[in-house]
């Protein structure tokens, strides 16, 4: 198996516009997973028309690609929402309390979620 030795490029990591917004989004989700102590098997970013994110009981978290155009806070809101579903299936009292603990402005962000493409689903 041949390995190509690419020259290392100088790090080009300006905080904004690193050029890989999808990777940034996934990294952000992974960082939240650590913080929330959940262990998603897969974090996918793909086009989703009707919601911002979803999460299966098998541990697959899907985030809408359009999130890369949204604010960091909004990304946090969707990510935390979906990751918390790995621990709580519904939007009960505990779920909301945790949302408030991690993303204090989530209620306002949820209102923003109504602008297309629609709100967080499950
Ligand atoms: Zn939900």
Q: Ligand 1 centroid vs 54 CA: distance in angstroms?
A: 8
pLDDT score of 57: 81
Q: Ligand 1 centroid vs 19 CA: distance in angstroms?
A: 30
pLDDT score of 116: 53
Q: Ligand 1 centroid vs 1 CA: distance in angstroms?
A: 45
Q: Ligand 1 centroid vs 113 CA: distance in angstroms?
A: 12
Q: Ligand 1 centroid vs 93 CA: distance in angstroms?
A: 13
Q: Ligand 1 centroid vs 89 CA: distance in angstroms?
A: 8
Q: Ligand 1 centroid vs 60 CA: distance in angstroms?
A: 14
Is the pTM here over 0.75, yes or no?
A: yes
The residue among 103, 122, 116 whose CA lies nearest residue 54 is: 122
Q: Ligand 1 centroid vs 91 CA: distance in angstroms?
A: 6
Residues 34/17, Cβ–Cβ less than 8 Å:
no
- b (16+ CB within 10 A) / e for 11-45: eeeeeeeeeeeeebbbebbeebbeebebebeebbb
DSSP symbol at 31: H
pLDDT score of 58: 87
How is 62-112 classified by DSSP, letter by letter? EEEGGGGGS-HHHHHHHHHHHHHTTT-SS--HHHHHHHHHH-TTHHHHHHH
**Please, which pLDDT band fits residue 114 given cuts at 50, 70 and 90?**
confident
What is the C-alpha to C-alpha distance for residues 86 and 55, in angstroms, rounded to an integer?
7
pLDDT tens-place string over residues 17-72: 456 899 999 999 999 999 999 999 999 999 998 999 999 988 999 999 999 999 99
């Amino acid at each position: 198996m041949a390995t190509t030795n690419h020259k290392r490029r100088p790090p080009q990591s300006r905080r904004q516009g690193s050029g890989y917004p999808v990777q940034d989004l996934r990294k952000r989700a992974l960082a939240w997973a650590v913080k929330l102590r959940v262990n998603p098997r897969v974090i996918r970013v793909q086009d989703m028309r009707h919601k911002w994110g979803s999460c299966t009981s098998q541990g697959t978290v899907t985030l809408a690609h359009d999130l890369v155009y949204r604010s960091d806070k909004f990304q946090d809101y969707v990510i935390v929402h979906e990751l918390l579903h790995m621990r709580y299936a519904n939007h009960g009292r505990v779920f909301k309390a945790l949302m408030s603990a991690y993303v204090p402005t989530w209620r306002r962000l949820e209102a923003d979620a109504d602008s297309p493409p629609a709100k967080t689903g499950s």
